[in-house]
């Protein structure tokens, strides 16, 4: 190696040591060596390309990340977080999924964000795991009305309040049921300026947190008494396998229109998909078909789930291609 190349290499090693070992940033190195910051950046890139800098990452999450990449690439969504808790029961797995979603939200929510919050016990479990972080002017908004009159802790209003408490932020209340008796009653609610204003705020959210429901007679919408078992069977008869907010989807992820649609108060799936960043949290073998439907329908940007569910999602998608 000639002297000129030797000295260039020596400088690359020096800059790399200052950056990666000594912890100096590029501007500090620039000031110490009298070399422009853009040139420092190019030198660091050259050090990596020439093998002077070799970055090894000890990755205890390689298996999970393989499934994350597979799901994201298969369904064309931005990202997936897969939680692996070996030999754990369902309760512990769900807790870890909630914690993973909470950690993601703590990083994703920015100053002045409006965050749409869905009803459901899964969303409530995420709220319970949130830690206070300093964000300015964040607002949480429910995306669907309430199910029943029992004041459940998992209603969208309750969930929005819980998240707001953790962030020391504002929240809005949607003072309307999710399902009303008739289309005329729905129109009366939607004509109330306060209710219309909350729904409009939800439509303009910058981020949304949703759950994914399967279509069975055990669904909250049926158990609340506002949606009959016969109506649920009717929706199933139309091919619905997934429920998100006021909408149902078929196995291909396409919206299924149904008779009770004009009695629902909340955001429809097309309105949710228009929100810039939608994070879905869902896990469990009983939800695999519903989650695949939502993935096929591009109903989310990020999915948070567990390892077993992730494996079954890919297997279900392979065995049951969308028609």
Cα angle value 129/132/136 (rounded, 5°): 130
- Res. 220 pLDDT band, cuts 50 70 90: low
pLDDT greater than 80 at residue 229: no
pLDDT digits (tens, 9 = 90+) for 98-125: 999 999 998 899 999 999 999 988 999 9
pLDDT digits (tens, 9 = 90+) for 25-84: 999 998 888 888 999 999 999 999 999 998 877 766 678 889 999 999 999 999 999 999
pLDDT at 201: 97
pLDDT at 152: 65
Lowest average pLDDT, out of 118-127, 131-140, 188-197, goes to 131-140
Sequence ranges of the chain with CATH classification 1.10.10 = 3-49
- Res. 223 pLDDT band, cuts 50 70 90: low
3-49: in CATH 1.10.10: yes
What is the rounded average pLDDT of the residues 276-303? 96
Q: Are 175 and 195 in contact (CB under 8 A)?
A: yes
pLDDT digits (tens, 9 = 90+) for 147-193: 765 556 678 999 999 999 988 899 999 999 988 889 999 999 999 99
pLDDT at 3: 66
What is the rounded average pLDDT of the residues 223-248? 84
Distances (CA, A) of 246 to 97, 240, 268, 284: 24, 13, 5, 22
pLDDT at 10: 79
Question: At how many degrees (to 10) do helices 37-49 and 26-33 cross?
Answer: 110
Sequence ranges of the chain with CATH classification 3.40.50.1360 = 62-319
What is the rounded average pLDDT of the residues 257-276? 93
pLDDT at 148: 61
pLDDT at 153: 65
Instruction: Give the whole-angstrom CA distance, residue 264 versus residue 201.
Output: 18
What is the number of alpha carbons within 13 Å of residue 73 lying toward its C-beta?
6
CA dihedral 188, 192, 194, 199 (to 10 degrees): 50
Instruction: Give the whole-angstrom CA distance, residue 164 versus residue 141.
Output: 9
pLDDT at 225: 64
* CATH pick for 62-319 out of 3.30.70.580, 3.40.50.300, 3.30.2320.80, 3.40.50.1360: 3.40.50.1360
Beta partners for 158?
none
How many other CB atoms are there within 10 angstroms of residue 67's CB atom?
20
């Amino acid at each position: 190696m000639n002297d000129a190349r030797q000295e260039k290499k020596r400088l690359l090693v020096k800059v790399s040591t200052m950056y990666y070992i000594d912890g100096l940033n590029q501007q500090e190195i620039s000031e110490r060596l009298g070399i422009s910051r853009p040139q420092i950046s190019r030198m660091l890139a050259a050090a990596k390309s020439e093998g002077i800098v070799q970055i090894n990452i000890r990755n205890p999450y390689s298996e999970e990340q393989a499934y994350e990449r597979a799901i994201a690439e298969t369904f064309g969504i931005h990202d997936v977080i897969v939680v692996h808790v070996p030999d754990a029961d369902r309760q512990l797995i769900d807790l870890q999924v909630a914690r993973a979603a909470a950690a993601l939200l703590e990083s994703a929510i920015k100053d002045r964000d409006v965050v749409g919050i869905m009803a459901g016990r899964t969303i409530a479990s995420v709220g319970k795991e949130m830690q206070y972080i300093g964000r300015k002017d964040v607002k949480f908004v429910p995306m669907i009305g309430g199910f029943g009159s029992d004041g459940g802790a998992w209603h969208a209003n309750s969930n929005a309040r819980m998240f707001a408490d953790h962030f020391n932020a504002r929240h809005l209340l949607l003072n309307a049921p999710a399902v009303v008796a008739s289309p005329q009653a729905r129109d009366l609610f939607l004509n109330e300026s306060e209710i219309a204003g909350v729904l409009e705020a939800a439509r303009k959210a910058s981020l949304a947190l949703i759950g994914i429901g399967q279509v069975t007679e055990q669904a909250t919408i049926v158990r609340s008494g506002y949606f009959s078992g016969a109506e649920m069977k009717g929706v199933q008869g139309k091919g619905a396998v997934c429920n998100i907010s006021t909408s149902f989807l078929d196995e291909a992820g396409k919206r299924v229109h149904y008779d009770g649609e004009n009695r629902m108060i909340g955001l429809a799936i097309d309105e949710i998909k228009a929100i810039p960043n939608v994070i879905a949290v869902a896990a469990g073998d009983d939800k695999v078909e519903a989650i695949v439907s939502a993935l096929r329908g591009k109903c989310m940007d990020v999915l948070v789930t567990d390892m077993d569910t992730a494996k079954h999602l890919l297997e279900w998608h392979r065995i049951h291609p969308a028609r």
